[in-house]
Amino acid sequence: MTTATLADVVVEETAKPLIEFSRVEKTYSNGFQAVTPFDLSVDRGEIVSLVGPSGCGKTTVIRMAAGLSKITGGTLTRRTDELAYVFQDPTLLAWRNVRSNVELVAKLKGVDKETRRAAATRAIETVGLSAFEKALPRQLSGGMKMRVSLARAITGSPDLLLMDEPFAALDEFTRATMQRELLRLWRANDFSAMFITHSISEAVTLGHRVVVMASKPGRIAAVLTSPSPPDKGDTPRDEQALAELSSEISAMLAGGER
């Protein structure tokens, strides 16, 4: 992308989007068209929420972003290999304690012991679990397990966090806490995120933009820019404007189901 500025000076923008979907499609091997031409780019430091009815292709989209599912059309450009994927299920290893679970991905990536220990210590501290480093998953609540999963994801200092309904199984209170936690992590670390959720209010709380998807066939119905996005400072959010955005999304989803 080029931007003309003063007189005839053209400044080349180096900060290209971290990930760009250009007419990306997915047809599964059984012939099912899960995602029809999909265009979206996510900037560095941007959080994009994805909402839409069950089966509209949200998981497929972020699996393609992760390289876990092959695209069958279009072009997908990802300008980093530093990814972390967070699922709805915290997927912790039952026989490993908190620290060991948090260090695991970095260990598998071949990060040396000292570096990963230091990164894990910071991450565990950030999610407020320093007192539970030695605890086993079964000794933790659902919210604590999800914190471990988040700590594990940020231990590798990812550029891009791909999150698939990570808080769906949590009670409402814990979920709100985790949303604040995620934004706090985002303020302290420079990652971008694609965040799938079935909760419109969660999509609006976390997203700089919200992608509303529709099904049959899976596609983007609208991309809405938040009137009061999270920022790096602690600017109070315009709750009224966010509520209006939620209603708009809600109306779109209700209309799209017919």
Ligand X SMILES: Nc1ncnc2c1ncn2[C@@H]1O[C@H](COP(=O)(O)OP(=O)(O)OP(=O)(O)O)[C@@H](O)[C@H]1O
Tell me which residues touch ligand X (CB under 6 A): 28, 30, 32, 34, 52, 54-60, 218
Other beta carbons within 10 Å of 210: 26
Report what 149 binds from ligand X, Mg ion, none; CB cut-off 5-8 Å by kind. Answer: none
> What would the DSSP string read from start to end of 8-51?
T-EEEP----SEEEEEEEEE-TTS-EEEEEEEEEE-TT-EEEEE
160 DSSP β-pair partners: 83, 192
CB closest to Mg ion, residue no: 59
Residue with tokens 């007189």: 7
CB of 21 to ligand X, least distance (A): 14
Longest dimension (CA), the chain: 64
CB of 207 to Mg ion, least distance (A): 17
Report what 57 binds from Mg ion, ligand X, none; CB cut-off 5-8 Å by kind. Answer: ligand X
CB of 196 to Mg ion, least distance (A): 6
Report if residue 155 touches Mg ion, rule: CB under 5 A: no
Report what 192 binds from ligand X, Mg ion, none; CB cut-off 5-8 Å by kind. Answer: none
Which residue type does 128 have? G
What are the helix and strand counts (H, E) for the chain? 7, 11
Residue 137 has which token pair?
């998953």
CB of 205 to Mg ion, least distance (A): 20
Cβ nearer to ligand X, comparing 52 with 158: 52
- The single-letter DSSP state of residue 167 is T
CB of 58 to ligand X, least distance (A): 4
Report what 14 binds from ligand X, Mg ion, none; CB cut-off 5-8 Å by kind. Answer: none
- What is the footprint of Mg ion within residues 35-64 (CB under 5 A)? 59
Gap between the Cα atoms of 3 and 7, Å rounded: 12
Task: Give the Å distances, CA to CA, from 73 to 21, 37, 40.
Answer: 10, 8, 14
Q: Which residues contact Mg ion by CB under 5 A?
A: 59
